[in-house]
Amino acid sequence: MTQKQNLFNRRQFLAASGLTATSGLSASLYAAGTEQEDISKIGKTPHTRFAVNVEMWWKKLPFIDRIRKTASLGFPAVEFWPYKNKNIDEIAQVSQSLNVEIAQFTAWGFTPGMNDPKNHKAFVNTIRESCQVAKKLKCRKMTVVGGNDQPGMTQEQMHENIITALKLAAPIAEDANVMMILEPMNIRVNHKGHCLYGSEAPIRICKEVNSSHVKINWDLYHMQITEGDLCRHMKEGFDAGQIGYLQLADNPGRNEPGTGEIYYNRVLKEAFDIGYKDYVGLECTPIGDEIVAAKRVAAADVW
């Protein structure tokens, strides 16, 4: 099938579903149309297993109800940001009762940066605690962030400090069988002043750490803004053995697939074809109604 035919088929699917990136229909009209349809299978996509980011979907609902909403649409997993100040026991109980997996959560965020040696002891202690949280949640992966720029340090020095921190914590992750996934950001739009972006530097860092439990949280939204050429770069990262997890959002806007410039049908097919079979995190804000967003996600898994 040619790319032109593939694009035509995608448009046919979107049209049949009542979904287009430029549709002016209101969310209420979409919601009204869902009353007579079975929405419980939207997230049961044939190729890609999606994990809904419940920090960005259903923001007005209590946190635990967002997991229930995810299950009601048939998605197999959720992801979330920092575990601190969350009721981990309740999250574990509800997610496991609904058979919704916790794909990953954030163990270490932007500040304090692990790119500063003075924070390494705290980083190691937090990873030790995070591994216990992951065990309770039956979660296999957790995100760690390099940190924002440190005054007086070069980027090379900050990256070396990240390597040192990850080497210190890697044995803990290995013993717990929980993968730390290092997330590079973008500094053009969302995270100006962050020290780690693009694919080249995190690949080098993870190779240097040389642990089966230290890989990259390969966020396709950040990669598109930073370097583009998504399919080739993703294949290079996968062939190097350094992709631990994928996330997505369309660009611009950081909304669901089908609302921006990225042809996610092709990108997700590439991920599938190169052998990535784990969850893809939906770290995107629905542009309107979540059911419409879920349908757009499902449409991106058609090829």
Q: What is the largest CA-CA distance in the chain?
A: 61
What integer pLDDT is reported at residue 4 of this predicted model?
46
> Per-residue DSSP letters for the chain?
--HHHHHHHHHHHHHHHT--TT----HHHHHHHTTTS-GGGTT--SS--EEEETTTSSTTS-HHHHHHHHHHTT--EEEEEE-TTS-HHHHHHHHHHTT-EEEEEEEE-SSS-TTSGGGHHHHHHHHHHHHHHHHHHT--EEEEE--BPPTT--HHHHHHHHHHHHHHHHHHHHHHT-EEEEE-B-TTTT-TTBS-BSSHHHHHHHHHHT-TTEEEEEEHHHHHHHT--HHHHHHHHHHTT-EEEEEE--TTTS--TTSSS--HHHHHHHHHHHT--S-EEE----SS-HHHHHHHHHHTT--
Sign of CA dihedral 80, 85, 86, 89: positive
Q: What percent of the chain has pLDDT over 70?
A: 88
Residue 32 has a pLDDT of: 40
pLDDT by 10s per residue, the chain, length 303: 554 454 445 445 444 444 544 333 334 334 444 456 899 999 999 999 999 999 999 999 999 999 999 999 999 999 999 999 999 999 999 999 999 999 999 999 999 999 999 999 999 999 999 999 999 999 999 999 999 999 999 999 999 999 999 999 999 999 999 999 999 999 999 999 999 999 999 999 999 999 999 999 999 999 999 999 999 999 999 999 999 999 999 999 999 999 999 999 999 999 999 999 999 999 999 999 999 999 999 999 999
pTM above 0.75, yes or no: yes
Q: pLDDT digit string (tens) for 50-90?
A: 999 999 999 999 999 999 999 999 999 999 999 999 999 99
In this structure, are strands 77-82 and 280-282 parallel, antiparallel, or unpaired? unpaired
pLDDT of residue 37: 83
Q: How far apart are CA 261 and CA 258, in angstroms?
A: 8
CA–CA dist 23, 182 (Å, integer): 36
The region, left, alpha or beta by phi > 0 then psi within -120 to 50, assigned to residue 195 is: alpha
Residue 227, C-beta contacts closer than 8 angstroms, at least 6 positions apart = 198, 199, 233
Question: Domains plus CATH for the chain?
Answer: 44-148+155-223+230-299 (3.20.20.150)
Report pLDDT for 36.
65
Tens of pLDDT, residues 112-121: 999 999 999 9
Residue 102 vs residues 56, 93, 264: alpha-carbon distances, Å: 15, 11, 23
Query: How confident is the model over 22-39, as pLDDT tens digits?
Result: 333 334 334 444 456 899
pLDDT of residue 19: 52
Contact 208, 238 (CB under 8 A): no
